[in-house]
Amino acid sequence: MQNGTDRPGTLLDVRGLTTRFATDRGLVHAVEDISFTIQPGEAVGLVGESGSGKSTVLRSLLGLVKPPGRVVSGEVFFRGRDLRALPDDELRRIRGGQISLIFQDPVNALNPSLTIGDQLRRMLRLHRATVPPDGFDREIMRMLARVGIDATGKLNGYAFNYSQGQLQRIMIAAACLAGTPSLLLADEPTTSLDVTIEAQVLQLLRDLRQELGLALVLVTHNLALVSELCDRVLVMYAGRLVEDGDVYSVFEAPQHPYTRQLLRALPRFPASGERLEAITGSVPDLVSPSPGCSFAPRCEQYLGTVCDTKVPPLFDAGNAHQRAACHLYT
């Protein structure tokens, strides 16, 4: 706990995180200079359209960006220690032990050639020195029972023996119960599930979070999910953070023009028959980002040259603890 955080209680403190992908077309600036903090037990939604860099942020936090991607700079302080500076074996113990990741598609996230029991046993071996090896199976049954799966005699099944919903429950059990995590990273955890299963899995996540005091970073483009599950929301656009605030403030009074236009584009129930609003223009090219605000070409409140030449930092805007990266608030 020696260096790093300003606020001593802060669980995660990300500073200037920048991740780039070297492609044939040039460097893709997937994540540019992102900073945010997470308090213990806090649930934060990370939203943005496809390609805005949400998932890359999650992977960058754990140092799991696939080549040709690379975290080029920034610090990720977890409980005061910079994960990027940790030796490999310590980082390994944190992955799955203290920070867990839940994937969008559990079918692909489980090893197709190993039994479910095998995979969970491996995790216990890595993260639970206190459980004796002959107690693994009992512990696994207990973990699976907690997520609503009676696995009596079924531990020798493979991933294809289980349904999508069951697999996501197994993944959640692995993520939340195999180690002793304090931070859960979820990458669109319910997108691959049908609606009724989605509701059950969300309830399960909510319960486990409360029970274990887990902080959550939820990556999604489903804003309804964020309002249901999260305390705070971070809005990303073209690899940058554009707005940060508590869910209520951001949804009631969005400060960044992008957030405003994004929320207006949501379909509303009573007003059926109206045309859906869309944000005009298209997502900018991440290979050669503009020197100014990347939303400027699509912005309704374009201010002139300042928007094209200077990247706006996050300014205080709107309610307390609400910030927006827009020159309107200079």
- 39-57 residues labelled b (16+ CB within 10 A) or e (exposed): eebbbbbbbbeeebbbbbb
Burial (CB < 10 A; 0-12, 13-18, 19+), residue 115, is middle
Partner residues linked to 102 by β-bridges: 186
By C-alpha distance, which of 208, 207, 202 is closest to 226? Answer: 202
Question: With respect to other proteins, which residue has the nearer C-beta, 56 or 255?
Answer: 56
Residue 257 near residue 326 (C-beta atoms within 8 A): yes
Nearer to other proteins, 160 or 269 (CB): 160
- Tokens standing for 130? 């206190």
Q: How far is the CB of 40 from other proteins (least distance, A)?
A: 21
Identify which of residues 73 and 156 has a Cβ nearer to other proteins in the complex. Answer: 156
Q: State in angstroms the smallest separation of the CB of 193 from other proteins.
A: 16
* Shortest Cβ 64–other proteins spacing (Å): 6
Q: Is 320 helix (H, G, I), strand (E, B) or coil?
A: coil
Report the nearest approach of other proteins to the CB of residue 162 (Å): 7
Copy the structure tokens of residue 14.
């990300």
Least separation in angstroms between CB 61 and other proteins = 10
Assign 3-state DSSP to the chain and report helix, strand, coil percentages, each to 5: 35, 25, 40
Q: Could you tell me the smallest distance in angstroms from the CB atom of residue 241 to other proteins?
A: 23
Please name every residue paired with 228 in a beta bridge, in sequence order, or none if there are none. none
Residue 98 backbone phi and psi in degrees, to 5: -120, -25
Q: Which residues bind other proteins (CB under 8 A)?
A: 59, 62, 64, 66-67, 88-89, 92-97, 100-101, 103, 105, 108-114, 122-123, 126-127, 149-154, 156-158, 160-163, 166, 171, 174-175, 178-179
Q: Would you say 127 or 260 has its CB closer to other proteins?
A: 127
